[in-house]
Amino acid sequence: MEYFKALWTEENEDGSFTTSLQVLSTEILASQEVLVQVLYSSLNYKDALSANGHRGITQHFPHIPGIDAAGIVLHDATGQFQSGDQVIITGFDLGMNTHGGLAELISVPASWMVKLPMQVSLKKSMQIGTAGLTAGMAVRALQQNQIFPSSGEILVTGASGGVGMCAIKLLNHLGYQVVALTGKPEMADALLKIGASRVIDRLEFMSEKPRTLYPMTFAGGIDTVGGEVLVKLIKSLQFAGSVAVCGMAGGVDLPLQVYPFILRGARVLGIYSADSPLEKKQEIWNLYADEWNFELDSITEVISLIEAPDKLKLMLEGLSHGRYLVQILD
């Protein structure tokens, strides 16, 4: 293969960025250990940032975004993988400063790859993708901090997003009572349908007068929003409650006094899936192949590469919802 199709993010003369479908020479791929033919990818918030020229994610342009990829090994110089092996690559540097998975081909180190578990299809692996992996790590962190279905309600923020919807589905599957916090009241019915027991409007949640502590409402939380929303969630935890913190779609600051920690034993559990050791990722993939095997079609829109740039724009504006599975071949 001399040429391959990929999304290509380029910087324009005025400093803006354009992402479009292009046919590229394979020479632009760095020759890493393994060449993979990508069959499916997915869209994550980080891709929206990269495709919009965010230097904190991608320093050099032009660039192929895409932090997720699933496909078939074409060649592995290390001999760890056979040609034809089905593999998943999520995170590490893929789609950041290494050309990413929104393409027919990627070239990556063998140490970034997980063999596809038997009971998971390539398609399902990308419905899960980084969003599902992150939601899974957040749920594991809550379990490890003794937050169980009997503990009480779990608040999921950014509920209509990729991580949010995966978290709701997973928590519901495990028997937790899930409360969805969303900035999109029009998504309330959809959130109830996928397993939320009640839905809170983000504007309403944030309209209350700021207080040092709020009533102890939630046993735990999974936060994808950050900022003031996270502050209010921490102040609303029950005694010894935990919140798994994964995102910053709404802000990066955490203006907070120590009271929730020293008066209520609140715990904040940081989640970072991208650079997690491969064994940790493998543990989550194995769970999705077994105990966590539930459908994700209800939260997935299947799109083609050419449709991805518009969806990435929506994501950046906070207007997208659920998971976008990118089918690479026409």
Ligand X SMILES: NC(=O)c1ccc[n+]([C@@H]2O[C@H](COP(=O)([O-])OP(=O)(O)OC[C@H]3O[C@@H](n4cnc5c(N)ncnc54)[C@H](OP(=O)(O)O)[C@@H]3O)[C@@H](O)[C@H]2O)c1
Q: Which residues bind ligand X (CB under 6 A)?
A: 44-46, 130-131, 134, 158-164, 182-184, 202, 224-225, 246-250, 271-274, 315, 318, 320-321
Smaller CB distance to ligand X: residue 24 or 243? 243
Smaller CB distance to ligand X: residue 107 or 160? 160
**φ, ψ for residue 272, nearest 5 deg:** -140, 100
Candidates 199, 204, 240, 191; CA nearest to 219 is 240
Neighbour tally for 226: CB within 10 Å: 20
Smaller CB distance to ligand X: residue 29 or 129? 129
Across the strands, what pairs with 63?
A: 9
241 vs 261: CA distance, rounded Å = 10
44 vs 37: CA distance, rounded Å = 20
97 vs 99: CA distance, rounded Å = 6
CB of 183 to ligand X, least distance (A): 3
CB of 170 to ligand X, least distance (A): 13
CB of 104 to ligand X, least distance (A): 23
N- to C-terminal Cα distance for the chain?
17
217 vs 240: CA distance, rounded Å = 12
Neighbour tally for 186: CB within 10 Å: 9
Alpha helices in the chain (DSSP H): 45-50, 122-144, 162-173, 188-193, 202-207, 227-235, 259-264, 278-289, 308-316
CB of 45 to ligand X, least distance (A): 3
CB of 323 to ligand X, least distance (A): 8
CB of 74 to ligand X, least distance (A): 28
Q: Is the dihedral of CA 246, 251, 253, 258 positive or negative?
A: negative
CB of 211 to ligand X, least distance (A): 20
Smaller CB distance to ligand X: residue 152 or 183? 183
Smaller CB distance to ligand X: residue 90 or 151? 90
Q: Tokens in use for 253?
A: 């600051």
CB of 208 to ligand X, least distance (A): 16
Smaller CB distance to ligand X: residue 4 or 45? 45
Task: Decide if 78 contacts 110 (C-beta within 8 A).
Answer: yes
State which residue has the least CB distance to ligand X. 161
Smaller CB distance to ligand X: residue 63 or 321? 321
Smaller CB distance to ligand X: residue 151 or 160? 160
Candidates 98, 114, 68; CA nearest to 274 is 68
CB of 288 to ligand X, least distance (A): 15
190 vs 177: CA distance, rounded Å = 16
Smaller CB distance to ligand X: residue 109 or 318? 318
